[in-house]
Amino acid sequence: MNGSAALLKCTGIRKAFPKPDGGELLVLEGMDLEIHEGEIIGLLGRSGSGKSTLLRLIAGLAEPSAGELSYLGQPIYGPAPGIAMVFQSFALFPWLTVYENVALGLEAQRMPKAEIRKRSLAAIDLIGLDGFESAYPRELSGGMRQRVGFARALVVHPNILLMDEPFSALDVLTAETLRTDFLDLWSEGRMPIKGVVLVTHNIEEAVLMCDRILVFGSNPGRILSEIKVALPQPRNRLDPSFRDQVERIYVEMTARPTGSAAVGRQERFPGLGIGSVLPPVSSNAQAGLIEAVAAPPFNGKADLPEIASDLQMEIDELFPVAETLQMMRFAELEGGDLKITDDGLAFAHADQDERKRIFRRHLLAYVPLAAHIRRVLDERTSHSARKTRFIDELEDFMGEEDAEHTLRAVVHWGRYAEAFAYDDGNEVFSLENPS
């Protein structure tokens, strides 16, 4: 797990994309990482934390803006021969059979025909695809398709296998079978690979498979902490030490950003300017989570891993909702727990009209953009304003796409709260419907 020479080394990696206005969008910063022989490393984080970007940098599919990447001591420019990748959406060529898909990487290496055949059949055999050689991807189930994805990556005998959320497009049962099969092959040493990098947003998956987990934070993407998982394989999800590990990661991921010493009341609810990106979390999702946590057995306070498994939500879905509740002061998020505030409880027990009133009060008090829109509409004699007016303002703080999403989120909340109306056809905000 350690001691041996690094297979792959990343130092001071930074990645930024240029923005149309001349600025840049920072996705990754200060990324240091080493991968040693015999370990599975997990890159865990929410969408937008840059973990997939890092994987693509390692794969040579993109270039870092600064920093160095080296594989076996050689700098990486473009895809290196010893690094293969498994994709989230499988990325199989639909016009090629299973066999041809697997053989493609070897064809690209211009290997002798007989050798290609031998190795492709061996990979197909290893991954349990015997008998499917002449099938086309569309004839296969999701699990079988991802097996082809694995075979295709393994056939080139890579030293490092990169996996980009390889199980997230599969149903729960299939994903579990594939994980177990993969771990079996790995621990028996039957795969020609020396190290694995797994990108995931599923905490349990990370704990189940990885030797080392790097927890990513967002804005910009960076490594928050590194967690070693010393549990012996095969691991059992129900094992208390396993649960403990999962719980620790939840705590890690909901922790306040370091550096803020004063933990006053204000600090616990991160302050928002008008230029914060708002998540696309519907009022229904917020209401749903409030109700779920307010009700027994949680009675107003829930452990995140528990509520996640109870609602069958992945962290990628759960965290944005929880954080929105925190922003709206309907809940507090700390130490891996979600605690509903008094107003949140009042909301849970209110009827429809009362809920809207509470929601409106909180929206206008705690979401500066909503308050700003309302103020502009109140001030104007026409009580209307064009969408572009606000988009322009937002674009001083964020990219075009984020501005669009943020405005869409605030439109949804404003409509639910009946704080203002919006006509999508004319792209105009107004005070028409509300009281």
Which of 4, 74, 134, 187 is the binder for another protein (CB under 8 A)?
134
The single residue among 14, 117, 157, 361 that binds another protein, judged by CB under 8 A, is 117
Among 96, 183, 251, 346, binds another protein (CB under 8 A): 96
Nearer to another protein by Cβ, of 4 and 141: the residue is 141
Smaller CB distance to another protein: residue 113 or 389? 113
- Identify which of residues 78 and 264 has a Cβ nearer to another protein in the complex: 78
Q: Closest distance between another protein and the C-beta of residue 94, in Å?
A: 6
Q: Is 355 in the site for another protein (CB under 8 A)?
A: no
The distance of closest approach from Cβ of residue 282 to another protein in the complex, given in angstroms and rounded to an integer, is 22
CB of 61 to another protein, least distance (A): 5
Rg (CA), the chain: 25
Q: Determine the Cα–Cα distance for residues 39 and 425; give it in Å rounded to an integer.
A: 54
Interactions with another protein, residue window 6-65 (CB under 8 A):
56, 59-61, 63
Binding residue (CB under 8 A) for another protein from 48, 67, 136, 343? 136
Contact flag: residue 343 with another protein (CB under 8 A): no
Nearer to another protein, 141 or 180 (CB): 141
Q: Which CB sits closer to another protein, 92 or 203?
A: 92
Helix axes 315-327, 283-294, angle to 10 degrees: 90
Please say which residue, 119 or 374, places its beta carbon nearer to another protein.
119
Phi-psi region of 272 (alpha: psi -120 to 50; beta: other; left: phi over 0): beta
- For another protein, which residue of 42, 50, 105, 166 counts as binding (CB under 8 A)? 105
Residue from the set 1, 5, 66, 91 that interacts with another protein by CB under 8 A: 91
Residues in contact with another protein, counted by CB under 8 A, come to a total of 44
**Contact status, residue 228 vs residue 210, Cβ threshold 8 Å:** no
Binding to another protein in span 153-192, by CB under 8 A: 156
Out of 46, 152, 201, 374, the only residue in the binding site for another protein (CB under 8 A) is: 152
Amino acid identity, position 160 = I
82 or 275: whose CB is closer to another protein? 82
Question: Interface residues with another protein (CB under 8 A)?
Answer: 56, 59-61, 63, 75, 77-79, 81, 83-85, 87-97, 99-100, 104-105, 107-110, 117, 121, 130-131, 133-134, 136-138, 145, 152, 156
